A and B are shown apart, each in its own frame.
Chain A
Amino acid sequence: MVLGLLWLGIVSSPGWDRVRQTYFDADDFRAAWGPVTSAFWLNVRLFLVAEVFILVIALVVAVVRVVPTPAMAPLRLLATIYTDVFRGTPTLLVVLLVGFGVPALRLAGAPTSLFWLGVIALSLSYGAYVAEVVRAGILSVHPTQWASGRALGLTYGQTLRHVVLPQALRRQVPPLINDFVSLQKDTALLSVIGLVEALRQANIIGQRDFISTPLVVAAVVFIAATIVIARFADWLTLRSMRRQAGVV
């Protein structure tokens, strides 16, 4: 009912005809579909590669921050500074600084490929977010679990590896997926350094022809990808719940 009224309100508004012409034109949609979806393949590759790096960075940073040994203090400080800096910096800014700033240094061996610069920028930024998720997950495991691990004669590292992390990681799945959906969308930020990904491709067509339908195409593609990730997450969660409950 509410949706119907909203729909009616939009459709009967004086600007609707022009909005429909610019945003929802079937011919423009079909014409933009091919180029935008093939450009989206770049987003998928960026996302998948960055995700691997992010998980590694996050796990290392989180573990460094929870291990209480005094010997780790300098590393712990470093990890804290890293999270503070990259969580506090807008992702777009990190992308610009890495994408244009790193090559400007002209360091021998520094990557010049825009793809890898993009992956580095996203990994740095998201690594900080995800590290906090992982750390929270580790801290959420009840202290008695640590104690029982140690009581069984496991070392601190073994307790972490075999007792705490398996429980922690399982709890983190929903927030992790949340961050990865966000990462998947933020691959579009890499268009600013020159990569022609789905949003930029839509932009190119849209600005050439003064239409916005290609943007809707890009939105549809991003939403579709998000739904795939969300259902995968649901499946993972269900599976782990079944296993924990002993029902297979």
Chain B
Amino acid sequence: MRLTPLAAAAATLALAAACAPADESSSSDDAASVSLDQCKPADLDLYKAGTLTIATDSPAYEPWFADDDPANGKGYEGAVARAVAEKLGFAPEKVTWVTQGFNEAIKPGAKSFDFDINQFSITSEREKVVDFSSPYYKAKQGVITLKDSKYADVTSLAGLKDAKVGAQVGTTSLEATQQLGLTTDPLVYDDTTKAAQALQNGQVDAIIADVPSAFYLVAAELDGAKLVGQFEPRTGESEEFGLLLDKDSPLTPCVSAAVDALQDDGTLEKLQQQWLSDAVDVPELSQS
């Protein structure tokens, strides 16, 4: 469905009017915020009327999703997407899932979904091209090596400076490799699976990935590998995942309001413990 400029302007105006002075009860002081009461299915300007269209990449893997089925409400992102949909008044059967590649989602042009949930880190550069909701997750970076690697027992980031390090293109993990003070440039892979293959082959000594992905790699894709530790990414913006929407989408305020509500009522924390609990026990690597 294409919006005519007039309709888009009207929708924006309507939203602006809706959230102007009357909106006193909202917990957030963000100027663009609206209260959830104004976000009923009938009020929303959806990609397909009557159904909330949510996108993610295929395969949908753990711990973000379960059984490669984003619609089952399992896995952290699966559960968050379902919770957001419910906050907006969409029962699970009123939600349509579509497949959208990570890179295609961030290209300019009309989007074929209402929002995309695919571990998109929020950065100010990216916000020039797309909209993000409030963050639903803050991720740390994990360091993976083989168990018999000489880097398997490092306790600080400085201990990794002579290692050959791999990371996935376009991720905060790749940015975070700058914090290691590496003596050789990192190797860059299309996805973490290829980085994992390179680790297994001895082509790299360590790979950096956000902690939940790192857990999945160690558990499912690698033999004899371990998660050495985790660290807070310092370069760029702090690592936060947000739902991705089309630039200036009229839905953004409502989707953010739903995420904020889930944050306030403790749902996000509860879902993180349920689906991402392992992340709590990983040793912290010193950064000095």
Contact = CB atoms under 8 A, between A and B. Distances in A.
B148 to A, nearest CB: 14
The interface residues of chain A, by DSSP majority, are classed as helix
A95 to B, nearest CB: 11
Interface in A160-216: 191-196, 200, 203-204, 206-212
B283 interface: no
Interface of B: 5, 103, 106-110, 123, 125-126, 128-130, 166, 169-170, 174-175, 185, 187-190, 194-195, 197-198, 200-204, 247
Interface in A207-248: 207-212
A200 B169 contact: yes
B108 A196 contact: no
16 contacts: A14-B5, A18-B109, A18-B247, A19-B108, A19-B109, A104-B197, A112-B203, A194-B203, A196-B185, A200-B188, A204-B174, A204-B188, A206-B170, A207-B106, A208-B125, A208-B175
A80 interface: no
A18 B185 contact: no
A29 interface: no
A206 B129 CA distance: 12
A16 to B, nearest CB: 10
Interface in A111-127: 112, 114
A203 B108 contact: no
Nearest to A113: B203
Contact of B170 (A114, A192, A194, A207): A207
Contacts of A22: 107-108, 129
B125 to A, nearest CB: 4
Interface in A5-38: 14-15, 18-19, 21-23
Contacts of B204: 194
Contacts of A21: 108, 128-129
Nearest to A103: B201
A235 B166 CA distance: 43
A192 B190 contact: yes
B170 A203 contact: yes
B278 to A, nearest CB: 27
B166 A194 contact: yes
